[in-house]
Amino acid sequence: MLIRILFVCHGNICRSPMAEFMMKDRVHKAGCGEKFLIASAATTTEELGNDMYPNAKEELRKHGIPFERRQARQLRHGEYESWDYIVAMDRENLADIAELLGPDTECKVRLLLSFAGEKRDVSDPWYTRDFAAAYRDISLGCEAILKEVLRVNSRAEG
């Protein structure tokens, strides 16, 4: 069974693509990459078609996280059924996701750091210019997601 995770932020050029590539790297290193479909999207149209922000790429390079050229895309109405987990970077994203997708009837939509037991947003480097802080937040959240997903999946298979 394929586990489908979509990371979502405002423009899909900083936090959500960082999370996408960090999670892809994490599941690959855990030896279970073939069990996952991981992607990212924006809640707005502001950055559509743009590649990941250069400072976000640089932060991933610092940590040896592989990435590829990509284009920002917007979350589309009707996409709710395509994903098992829709992971927002902040509370504003949660509100925008609800507006784009409608009610979260299957409890698929969550804040990234809620997986780590934290009730806060991922630091937004577009405004703070602190890509290292965003990396730390995203890393914490991705590690927690992987643990939860593997635990839930092993119970479902067992």
* CA nearest neighbour of 67 among 24, 28, 37: 24
Structure tokens at 30: 């855990």
Active site residue 124: yes
Active site residue 32: no
Give me the catalytic one of 9, 26, 96, 121. Answer: 9
How many C-beta neighbours within 10 Å does residue 105 have?
7
Give me the catalytic one of 15, 26, 90, 121. Answer: 15
The full DSSP string for 63-101 is TT---------B--TT-GGG-SEEEESSHHHHHHHHHHH
Active site residue 142: no
Structure tokens at 80: 């709710």
Give me the catalytic one of 90, 121, 124, 137. Answer: 124
Structure tokens at 58: 């640089």
* CA nearest neighbour of 67 among 56, 76, 75: 56
Looking at the annotation, which residues are catalytic?
9, 15, 124
